[in-house]
């Protein structure tokens, strides 16, 4: 249990580093939806959809590759130096190409020329900080990691408020930027914050002695390219809906859908926080005694916490929603929230299960699974958006992530068996889903009955896990 406590401690710190900044950033949704019309919020969403694609391409799986080979290679300096040099060099090359071909690329992506320049700047800066942040994580420096993340979000929030708020905004600061559209202020704030972070991590570029090892580079690339393809497939699964909706249903609908999608962010934040602590932990403990049993226990409690999160957000959605969205025009897509929450919980379970192909260096399987999910997302959206509108996007996400979860479990049993308590996991997942959906769709979001359901679920968990929970609490 001491290993689990170590994992929990690191995850909490990394969680704060990810959850607190992103939660604060999510609270900016209220500012953005208050200031921007639906169409403006749709433009904001489309900007970051393209940014997500660029980020995956420019990092080409190097972050996870770095974790893998830094943990297992005795010559850690060579791994760090090779990864750092490679990322800096390719970022420089990509940057030149993106700016040289800015006109055809921006026209193809249907992005305003000013937006495109900001997009490229943000993407390049965010790519350069990938290895320094990965180094902080893999060497167990969560406090430093968290501090920089918090500074980043502080700059973003401060600039958003000063540039957008009608109450606390600064006319003098706004006068520095010649913008025609308020949404551009959001991108400017992000660019400045990314530049600040790069300055803060600059010392880590000089941590390693320059030593470029071609053999290590080949290992990093061979391991990482399937992760890049899987990352592109993931971006499709996560963002294709927000790219297709403006073209089929219009910018107004996409703005509402994108804003309501943010209400599922509480599950997303939990998953991201978990991954930040889990990924280096899984690699560093792969050779430990009872490693597979530890992974099994972690997945069970991940499912418990995720199921609780699902129920809490759905039961108290009428309390949470006004904090993020006030304008009535944005609420027409509110019914997607339970479906998207469940989809993201399935995605979190998939990330847990995916440890088998990362530890066995079978990352191509991760690519194949993600491509299957992307194919489902594309096909379902193309076929059903014209028939049932934005609800098709939510269902497509759920089906894609659900199938990816099941495929990963089946393949993992063959290549890296982990003694998951499937019965318990299925019980928690099915019961929490059933109670949540009944509360939302059939009881008209009745908060009182939903609270009773939530307490019953907590009692069930406490009863079934009483022995293990007692050991975790009392064991030092």
CB 303 within 8 A of CB 339: no
Q: Is 179 left (phi over 0), alpha (psi -120 to 50) or beta?
A: beta
* Percent of the chain as helix, strand, coil, to the nearest 5: 85, 0, 15
CA distance 403 to 372: 9
CA distance 208 to 231: 28
pLDDT in tens, 17-50: 666 766 777 778 889 999 999 999 999 999 999 9
- Measuring CA to CA, which residue among 216, 200, 191 is closest to residue 84? 216
- Measuring CA to CA, which residue among 128, 173, 157 is closest to residue 28? 157
- Per-residue burial over 117-136, b = 16 or more CB atoms within 10 Å of its CB, e = otherwise: bbbbbbbbbbbbbbbbbbbb
Q: What are phi and psi of 177, to 5 degrees?
A: -115, 130
- Give the contacts of 73 (CB within 8 A, at least 6 positions apart): 79, 216
Q: Is 60 left (phi over 0), alpha (psi -120 to 50) or beta?
A: left
pLDDT of residue 12: 66
Give a three-class secondary structure readout of 379-447: HHHHHHHHHHCCHHHHHHHHHHHHHHHHHHHHHHHHHCCCCCCHHHHHHHHHHHHHHHHHHHHHCCCCH
pLDDT of residue 134: 87
pLDDT in tens, 76-108: 888 889 999 999 999 999 999 999 999 999 988
CA distance 369 to 353: 12
DSSP helix/strand/coil, 177: coil
Percent pLDDT > 70 in the chain is 91
pLDDT of residue 286: 56
pLDDT of residue 429: 96
**Both tokens of residue 123?**
């993407």
Positions of the chain with pLDDT under 70: 1-19, 21-22, 273-288, 471-476
pLDDT of residue 6: 60
pLDDT of residue 476: 45
Q: What are phi and psi of 4, to 5 degrees?
A: -65, -35
Listed in sequence order, the DSSP H helices in 285-354 are 291-315, 317-324, 337-353
Crossing angle, helix 2-35 and helix 142-164, to 10 degrees? 10
Tracing tokens 């991201």 back to the chain, one arrives at: 272
pLDDT of residue 137: 80
CB 153 within 8 A of CB 24: yes
Listed in sequence order, the DSSP H helices in 101-129 are 102-109, 113-128
CB 344 within 8 A of CB 298: no
Cβ–Cβ contacts within 10 Å for residue 225, how many?
A: 17
pLDDT of residue 1: 46
Residue 466: alpha-carbon gap to chain centroid = 32
- Give the contacts of 97 (CB within 8 A, at least 6 positions apart): none
């Amino acid at each position: 249990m001491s290993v689990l406590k170590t994992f929990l401690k690191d995850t909490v710190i990394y969680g704060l580093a990810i959850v607190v900044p992103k939660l604060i950033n999510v609270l900016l949704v209220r500012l953005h939806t208050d200031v921007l019309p639906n169409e403006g919020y749709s433009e904001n969403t489309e900007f970051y959809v393209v940014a997500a694609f660029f980020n995956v391409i420019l990092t080409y799986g190097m972050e996870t590759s770095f974790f893998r080979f830094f943990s297992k290679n005795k010559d850690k300096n060579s791994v760090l130096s090779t990864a750092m040099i490679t990322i800096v060099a390719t970022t420089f090359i990509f940057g030149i190409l993106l700016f040289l071909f800015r006109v055809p690329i921006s026209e193809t992506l249907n992005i305003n020329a000013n937006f495109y320049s900001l997009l490229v700047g943000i993407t390049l800066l965010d790519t350069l900080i990938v290895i320094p942040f990965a180094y902080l994580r893999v060497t167990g420096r969560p406090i430093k990691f968290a501090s920089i993340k918090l500074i980043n979000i502080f700059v973003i929030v401060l600039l958003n408020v000063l540039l957008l708020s009608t109450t606390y905004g600064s006319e003098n600061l706004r006068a520095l930027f010649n913008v025609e559209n308020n949404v551009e202020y959001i991108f400017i704030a992000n660019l400045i914050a990314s530049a600040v972070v790069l300055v803060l991590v600059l010392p880590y570029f000089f941590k390693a002695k320059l030593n470029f090892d071609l053999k290590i580079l080949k290992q990093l690339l061979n391991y990482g390219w399937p992760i890049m393809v899987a990352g592109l497939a993931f971006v499709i699964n996560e963002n294709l809906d927000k790219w297709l909706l403006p073209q089929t249903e219009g910018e107004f609908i996409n703005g509402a859908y994108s804003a309501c999608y943010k209400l599922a962010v509480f599950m997303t934040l939990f998953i991201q926080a978990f991954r930040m602590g889990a990924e280096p932990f899984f690699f560093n403990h792969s050779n430990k005694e009872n490693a597979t049993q530890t992974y099994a226990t972690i997945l069970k409690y991940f499912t418990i916490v995720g199921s609780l999160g699902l129920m809490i957000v759905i039961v108290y959605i009428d309390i949470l929603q006004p904090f993020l969205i006030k304008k009535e025009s944005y609420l027409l897509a509110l019914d997607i929230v339970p479906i998207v929450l469940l989809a993201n919980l399935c995605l979190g379970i998939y990330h847990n299960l995916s440890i088998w192909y990362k530890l066995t260096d079978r990352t191509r399987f991760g690519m194949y699974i993600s491509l299957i999910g992307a194919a489902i997302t594309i096909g379902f959206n193309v076929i059903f958006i014209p028939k049932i509108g934005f609800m098709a996007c939510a269902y497509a996400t759920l089906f894609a992530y659900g199938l990816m979860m099941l495929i990963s479990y089946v393949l993992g049993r063959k290549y890296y068996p982990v003694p998951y308590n499937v019965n318990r996991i299925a019980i928690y997942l099915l019961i929490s889903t059933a109670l949540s959906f009944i509360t939302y769709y059939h009881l008209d979001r009745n908060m009182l009955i939903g609270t009773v359901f939530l307490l019953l679920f907590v009692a069930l968990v406490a009863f079934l896990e009483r022995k293990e929970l007692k050991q975790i609490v009392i064991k030092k």
